[in-house]
Amino acid sequence: MLSSILHVSERFQSTYQIDKVEPMNHIDKIGLIGVAHPHSIAHLKTLRWIDQIVDIPIYDPDESAIRNAKEEIGDKIGEIYTDLDSLLNRTDVPIMFVCLRNDQTPDVLIKCADAAKHIIVEKPVATSAEAFKPALDTIEKAGLKMTVCFQNRYHPMVQEIFNLIGEGILGTPMSIEMRMITSQVRFRDPDHWLFQKELSGGGILSWLGCHYLDMACYFMRDRVSEVSAIVATNSGESIDVEDTASLSFRFSSGSVGSLHVGYMLPFSGSGYMGPSYDTYIAIRGTKGNIVWNPFEMEKPLTAESTIVAWETSPHRVFHHQLPACDAYGGIHGVKFVTDFLDTIASEKQPAVSGNDMMHVLEILDAAYESDATGRRINI
């Protein structure tokens, strides 16, 4: 029977090769702004993987954080600065990698643009869309390129899903269902600025849910037009941001989506790198379905379709095997950075733009407004 035929894809098993991560341009220096950010060391490890980058000058007012970074990363760390202007005045450093608190980031992005620097920036970039807009306008007016760390788009399975949808296996997309549950707040330092609304803008929805909202828009090739949400703080910790959230949303095309996020897993390691996750993505259409568990590496991506091209093998399984890599996001995180470097000396645009981030912030703003008002919010 046709329904019993399985097709196993191996086309992404060797997509990213360890010895092929050099961009085709002359850039050999990237400055990093903010060493104390939860992801800064991981981003420095990413830059360490790129042979072409030989000098990473870094800025942070915390000298101990700088010393720790230098000990962790080694010789690629260049000059160290506790004065930001001194780093921005370096004419031989064309790109700044910005890793700061959400409330601090927009003003620093403007300073980078005024110094004619291209920018890689940690998500979610700002506490709100309104706070981010002046920085985005300044960067665009200056004709500079910026990308945001939504490097999940480069994961081979994300690319697989994107391509499968583009090939029409779903027919008309009808819905996307997403779940992202991770370690409890107590494993993540409740006193951290991430759990202070004035500094962060929001909780798990903005810090981690933003990745899934970006993927949802990327997969569906669409923008969200309506949002209904409930957020809550149920961990019992002394924090003033949400630790759980449930969103329903509608795309401009009429397709619908849901996202459930939470700091809820009772067993996990501490910290921000390598905690436990429970994740799920399902995309359904009039002619097929795609299901993937992003953090369960032993489980493959599965897809089924009734389109003619799949009639001899309607149920397919896609495995991925990635090389070991300690960069942020793995080897595809390295590819995310090197592709951005290639855009600097070309007419190509970054895979993730400032406008992509702006839309995610608009969704987040709408979610928080929906919870506060009890209404569905149009974007």
pLDDT tens for each residue of 341-354: 999 989 899 999 99
Which part of the chain has CATH 3.40.50.720?
A: 31-151
How much is the pLDDT for 63? 87
Task: Kindly list the distances between the CA atom of residue 260 and the CA atoms of 175, 214, 249, 281, in Å, as whole numbers in the listed order.
Answer: 14, 14, 12, 11
How much is the pLDDT for 24? 53
Q: Is 142 exposed, middle or buried (0-12, 13-18, 19+ CB in 10 A)?
A: middle
Q: Are strands 301-305 and 315-318 parallel, antiparallel or unpaired?
A: antiparallel
**What is the distance between the alpha carbons of residues 147 and 350, in angstroms, rounded to a whole number?**
6
How much is the pLDDT for 345? 82
pLDDT, mean over the chain: 92
pLDDT digits (tens, 9 = 90+) for 118-160: 999 999 999 999 999 999 999 999 999 999 999 999 999 999 9
Structure tokens at 350: 């970054």
Q: Which of these, 187, 219, 227, lies nearest to 204 by C-alpha position?
A: 187
Which part of the chain has CATH 3.30.360.10?
A: 153-323+352-378
Asked whether residue 25 carries a pLDDT value surpassing 90, the answer given is no
How much is the pLDDT for 299? 77
CB-based contacts of 293-297 (< 8 A; 24+ apart in sequence): 294/152, 294/155, 294/157
Least confident among 169-173, 307-311, 317-321: 317-321
Beta carbons within 8 Å of 301's beta carbon, 6+ residues apart: 157, 160, 161, 290, 291, 292, 317, 318, 319, 320
pLDDT category, 15, cuts 50, 70, 90?
very low
Are 61 and 88 a contacting pair, CB within 8 Å? no
Asked whether residue 10 carries a pLDDT value surpassing 90, the answer given is no
Across the range 306-324, mean pLDDT stands at 94
**What is the distance between the alpha carbons of residues 332 and 32, in angstroms, rounded to a whole number?**
20
Asked whether residue 41 carries a pLDDT value surpassing 50, the answer given is yes
Strand partners, 282: 177, 291
**What is the distance between the alpha carbons of residues 124 and 210, in angstroms, rounded to a whole number?**
7
pLDDT category, 3, cuts 50, 70, 90?
very low
* SS3 state of residue 37: coil
Q: Which of these, 12, 7, 1, lies nearest to 320 by C-alpha position?
A: 12
Instruction: State residue 270 phi and psi, 5-degree precision.
Output: -85, 160
Asked whether residue 4 carries a pLDDT value surpassing 50, the answer given is no
pLDDT category, 20, cuts 50, 70, 90?
very low
Q: What percent of the chain has pLDDT over 90?
A: 84
Least confident among 170-184, 231-245, 318-332: 318-332
How much is the pLDDT for 281? 98
Instruction: State residue 119 phi and psi, 5-degree precision.
Output: -135, 135
Q: Which residue do the tokens 């915390």 mark? A: 62
Q: What percent of the chain has pLDDT over 70?
A: 93
Beta carbons within 8 Å of 8's beta carbon, 6+ residues apart: 316, 317, 318, 319
Q: Which of these, 322, 323, 300, lies nearest to 8 by C-alpha position?
A: 300
Class of domain 153-323+352-378: alpha beta
Beta carbons within 8 Å of 126's beta carbon, 6+ residues apart: 102, 103, 105, 106, 132, 135, 201, 361
How much is the pLDDT for 14? 34
Task: Kindly list the distances between the CA atom of residue 27 and the CA atoms of 49, 94, 142, 200, 239, in Å, as whole numbers in the listed order.
Answer: 14, 8, 20, 32, 42
How much is the pLDDT for 269? 75
How much is the pLDDT for 23? 54
The topology (CATH level 3) of 31-151 is Rossmann fold (3.40.50)
pTM: 0.92
Specify the DSSP class assigned to residue 94.
-
**What is the distance between the alpha carbons of residues 190 and 187, in angstroms, rounded to a whole number?**
8
Q: Which helix (H) or strand (E) holds 146?
A: strand 146-148
Across the range 309-314, mean pLDDT stands at 97
Across the range 78-84, mean pLDDT stands at 95
pLDDT category, 314, cuts 50, 70, 90?
very high
Across the range 34-48, mean pLDDT stands at 96
Exposure string (b/e) for 15-30, b if CB count within 10 Å is 16 or more? bbeeeebebeeebebb
